[in-house]
Amino acid sequence: MIEGKDISLVYGDGTKALRGVNIAISKGQLAYIIGPSGSGKTSLLKLFMGIEYPTEGELKVLGLKMQKGQEANIRKLRRLIGPVFQEFKLIKGRTALENVMLGLRFLDMPSKMIKEESKNALIKVGLSHKIDTVVEHLSFGETQRVAIARAVARKPALILADEPTGNLDVDNALNIMSLLASFRNENTAVIITTHATHLLDNIDQGEIIKVENGIIKMESRGAVQ
Ligand SMILES: Nc1ncnc2c1ncn2[C@@H]1O[C@H](COP(=O)(O)OP(=O)(O)O)[C@@H](O)[C@H]1O
Ligand SMILES: [Mg+2]
């Protein structure tokens, strides 16, 4: 599903965001990427989304090789993943439903089905009562749920959520974590990044991948000890 060997990522200004990363995430796995701010969590997700390419090393996501010059692979990948961005990237002036539908517009799906699947996703994230609300009129937590609905509506093989618990209080943060984890199944892996390690104290499922200063420090299965 994801296989990375000796990956490094150096940004244009020379910042070494990731160094010597070896990582394996299997089909249908739940994984949490944790680490302090600036450690490389977003950079890692950007590699998995095909937004950045490894400077060195080899990366395959869903069997597709991620490297510069492989645009066809990147396009294929984008149809198969459900990204939840830190800044949500929702479109203002549009309703929750329209935003989720827009997320499906590049898939080969009849428009009637797009609407149906989008509604279903909004219901699954607990927003059945806000389907026709313009996104600016939603609370932070509700906005986040729209972003999650947009990601899951396409039934992706991989859901990638970057700091989805952002500014939420602990209760809401845990709700969002378990909502995301609930979309994991045999065909869908879920990867969640967070700097809020205390949120994982109550979580007893999934793999924990610790990033520190661009290096993977520890991988463990099960609960954080
Ligand atoms: N586009 C960029 N250009 C240059 N440096 C960047 C860029 N994005 C992130 N960085 C740097 O890469 C390092 C890792 O950042 P990031 O992956 O965003 O960490 P995290 O998500 O864990 O907070 C940091 O030092 C950050 O300043
Ligand atoms: Mg980040």
Q: Is the pLDDT of residue 225 over 70?
A: no
14 lines ligand 1 (CB under 6 A): no
Report which residue type is found at 22.
Answer: N
CATH number of the domain enclosing 174? 3.40.50.300
Rg (CA), the chain: 17
Give me ligand 2 centre to Cα 115, in Å: 32
Residue-level pLDDT at 166: 80
pLDDT in tens, 64-113: 999 988 899 999 999 999 999 888 899 999 999 999 999 998 888 899 99
Q: Is the CB of 203 under 6 A from ligand 1?
A: no
Which structural domain range is residue 177 located in? Answer: 2-221
Cα atoms found within 13 Å of the Cα of residue 17, Cβ hemisphere only: 19
The Å distance, Cα 110 to ligand 2 centre, comes to 35
Q: What is the pTM of this model?
A: 0.94
What is the tally of structural domains in the chain? 1
pLDDT of residue 113: 95
pLDDT, tens digit, 9 for 90 and up, residues 104-158: 988 888 999 999 999 999 999 999 999 999 999 999 899 999 999 999 999 999 9
**In whole angstroms, what is the distance from residue 122 CA to residue 125 CA?**
5
